[in-house]
Structure 1
Amino acid sequence: MSHQITPAGRRSGLCAAALLITTTLLLSGCGASATGEAKAAETKDGKAAEEAKVEAVPVEVAQASRRAVAASYTGTATLEPRAESQVVAKTSGVALAVLVEEGQQVTAGQPLVRLDPDRARLAVAQSEAQMRKLENNYQRAQKLVGQQMVSASDVDQLRFDLEHARAQYRLATLELSYTTVVAPISGVIASRSIKTGNFVQINTPIFRIVDNSRLEATLNVPERELATLRAGQPVTLVADALPGKSFTGKVDRTAPVVDSGSGTFRVVSSFGDAAIGLQPGMFGRIRIDYDQRTDALVVPRLALLDDGEPAVFRVREGKVARVPVKLGYAEGPWVEIREGLQPGDQVVTAGKVALRDGTAVQVIADPKAKTVAQAAAPAAKAGSTQ
């Protein structure tokens, strides 16, 4: 049985097809619009995240922790020997022998130089002969005075002359001893200004001896430290000439009075046999420890703000807060916090200039942040692949 399509049926079919096409186009337009809005929203969120990321200030932090910290006074001084002597010639003469050299260790009374003794020996012999003559005359006069052959006044005069001759003899003997120059103190020969064959004038310096068995360093300390520094306290010295080494000593003595002109008092530290390598004249940095706390809460000095009262920036939940603190002792790179922080608190040590109270921060080299970043990287890579 055959079916014939009438003109009216043909028109109905065309209308239905046109209606289907229009509906499809409308649906496609709505889907495209929704997709565009979603993409715009994602772009906006990404920009907001980037802006938030840019606003976070990168900083370095350190944790407040407990450790031993000492209260100390520091200063600089030049090392000086405990004793020093300029050796001078007490008589004139030609140096026949120089017995020591620079750098040689000597003891008190050790011969250093022998001068020509001939003139001094002749003077001793002459004074001795005069003394012997007067001794004989005095002895004869004592025998004759009993026989009333010599007056008592003559005997007294002879006795006075004999005492004078004996003094002259002792003086000549002393001058003879001066021809051998000896060390007045024990120490090391620091300098020598004489050679064999030189003529030496009386009172001419010829050697310099320093006693380096104990070195001393003198600090001029402000009077406010008068109650804290006292004899016996431990001292640490670092010399510029010996990098990497430190030497220990003690406070030997303190001046009992304060200089009214400078407002300081003298504190003398001594360094004994343990200070091997130190030499007189070296420049040293000295630290005197006068108290110590074994369990103090400390932070790096770099964490302190320099804009007024002592304070630090504490980091919590990605933001900083300005926290006033009460300081205690300071030692090296550490400073004690008496009030304001707790153990484990994070404080900003680098990047403080750009911070204000409440600023968002990103901690550099924070292990937790690094772990989160490493975990987020694969997820972001997988999302971009899809």
Structure 2
Amino acid sequence: MSVHARAVALVCALVLVGCGDGRAKGEDKDKEKEEASIPVETAIAATGAIDAAYRGTATLEAEDEATVMAKQSGVIEQVLVEEGERVREGQVLARLETDRLRLEVARAKATLDQLEQDFKRYESVYERKLVSREAYERAKFELDGAKAAHDLARLALQEAEIRAPFDGVVSLRHVKVGNTIQSGSPAFRVTRMDRLEAQIFVPERDIHKLASGQPAMLTVDAWPDRRFTGHILRVNPVVDATTGTVKVTVAMAPGQPELRPGMFGRVEIVYDQRQNALLVPKDAVLTEDAQHSVYVVADGRARRRPIVVGYSDADRYEVVDGLQPGDELVVTGQASLRDDSKVEVVNAPAATPVVASGTDTQG
């Protein structure tokens, strides 16, 4: 073969190789252009009712609770009740030793009897003008003083019995038999269990939403599946300048014996309700710089869409602008998405619509 022929053959071989490489590179580029689908879970936007409520925490307190003080000093002779026992107004809870007090009453009574007899004689002779008016009035003053002393001695004897101030339950006993107690020292605590209150402190910006009589709900850790009822009893008219809050007192409804003073609870006060609101799961909503958005799935792609939200509860948002009922929203997998990403739905959203009831939560 001549030199010219060999040169022509080499050029053809290089051209063929170049064409082959070009086809291979083109195929690689086509493969790179193939977009992988991102697996996501979705839910359907649906209409339903949502309540608006203010939520806070509080410790239950008894409306009526009193520490019963000893009115006399002495030694405890009898303790007649124990903690947890129900008592009636005026019932004797404990007695002090009364021997000395009884003697004081007897002495005061003897003095009173003597002065009454003396005064009767003075009255008789005064009417006949045999004694001066000054002597008569002195006898009368002494008699009045003896009556007061007798009344005080009887009162001291009565106060040796420690009594319940109202119907309730003995929630704490401070004394034991044989203890020496001083006047003004605590002996018992009596609590009225059927009138319980919860106090929450509401920011002043929200106080216009609340008013006396509005219904309230309470949940406590001891009964997690129960919702206890009540209502706003009063709203304090003064804003605390230190905290910027207003004290709101919630009265629990009677007939809920599971509730006890001292329980920690979560209070929910309903102040508005919207029917036929468009509701979406909270998991579907992305929040950046106070702006809300969702990924809407259509034709196998997820497109990011800004929305305006209204009320919310523990699980859902109300959407007031940006969506339509029936829109399919990504609830799991948003972290891997960009606008117009190709997606693969791995659940059945039509079978799991948004629950159509709930309560807006603020606070």
TM-score, with length taken from structure 1: 0.80
Is the CA contact (8 Å cut-off) linking 2:35 and 2:342 kept in structure 1? Answer: no
Alignment equivalent of 2:60, drawn from 79, 87, 92:
79
SS at match of 2:190: strand
Higher strand share: 2
Alignment of 1:128-167 (within 5 A): 128-167=109-148
Measure, in 1, the Cα distance between the counterparts of 2:41 and 2:345.
Answer: 6
Aligned to 2:13: none
AA partner of residue 317 (structure 2): V
Can you list the C-alpha shifts for 1:271-292, whole angstroms capped at 9, x where unaligned? 1333221111111111111111
> Within the alignment, does 1:234 sit opposite 2:215 as a pair?
yes
AA partner of residue 140 (structure 1): R
Measure, in 2, the Cα distance between the counterparts of 1:178 and 1:129.
Answer: 21
Evaluate the alpha carbon distance shift between residue 367 and residue 170 of structure 1 in structure 2; reply closer, same or farther with a 3 A threshold: closer
Aligned to 1:90: 71
SS at match of 2:136: helix
Evaluate the alpha carbon distance shift between residue 319 and residue 124 of structure 1 in structure 2; reply closer, same or farther with a 3 A threshold: same
SS at match of 1:154: helix
> Within the alignment, does 1:363 sit opposite 2:345 as a pair?
yes
AA partner of residue 174 (structure 2): S
Is the CA contact (8 Å cut-off) linking 2:204 and 2:244 kept in structure 1? Answer: yes
Can you list the C-alpha shifts for 1:216-240, whole angstroms capped at 9, x where unaligned? 1100100011111111111111111
> Within the alignment, does 1:255 sit opposite 2:236 as a pair?
yes
Is the CA contact (8 Å cut-off) linking 2:196 and 2:261 kept in structure 1? Answer: yes
Alignment equivalent of 1:294, drawn from 275, 299, 302:
275
Aligned to 2:321: 339
Aligned to 2:296: 314
Alignment of 1:58-207 (within 5 A): 58-207=39-188
Aligned to 1:324: 306
SS at match of 1:353: helix
Higher helix share: 1
Is the CA contact (8 Å cut-off) linking 2:231 and 2:253 kept in structure 1? Answer: no
SS at match of 1:212: coil
SS at match of 1:145: helix
SS at match of 2:192: strand
Measure, in 1, the Cα distance between the counterparts of 2:205 and 2:327.
Answer: 34
Measure, in 2, the Cα distance between the counterparts of 1:53 and 1:155.
Answer: 121
Deviates more, 1:215-224 or 1:143-152: 143-152
User: Which stretches of structure 1, 4 residues or longer, exceed 6 Å deviation after superposition?
Assistant: none
Aligned to 1:351: 333
Deviation at 1:141, TM superposition (A): 1.6
AA partner of residue 232 (structure 1): G
AA partner of residue 121 (structure 1): R
Evaluate the alpha carbon distance shift between residue 356 and residue 367 of structure 1 in structure 2; reply closer, same or farther with a 3 A threshold: closer
Deviation at 1:53, TM superposition (A): 5.3
AA partner of residue 107 (structure 1): R
- Relative contact order higher in (CA < 8 Å, ≥ 6 apart): 2
Evaluate the alpha carbon distance shift between residue 52 and residue 171 of structure 1 in structure 2; reply closer, same or farther with a 3 A threshold: farther
Deviation at 1:311, TM superposition (A): 1.7
Alignment equivalent of 2:194, drawn from 191, 213, 220:
213
Measure, in 2, the Cα distance between the counterparts of 1:79 and 1:323.
Answer: 45
Can you list the C-alpha shifts for 1:9-66, whole angstroms capped at 9, x where unaligned? xxxxxxxxxxxxxxxxxxxxxxxxxxxx9xx99x959x74x96452x22211111101
Alpha-carbon RMSD across the aligned residues, in angstroms, is 2.3
SS at match of 2:195: strand
Aligned to 1:374: none
TM-score, with length taken from structure 2: 0.84
Deviation at 1:90, TM superposition (A): 1.1
Matched residue pairs, number? Answer: 327
Measure, in 2, the Cα distance between the counterparts of 1:331 and 1:249.
Answer: 20
Deviation at 1:156, TM superposition (A): 1.4
Provide the identity percentage.
Answer: 41
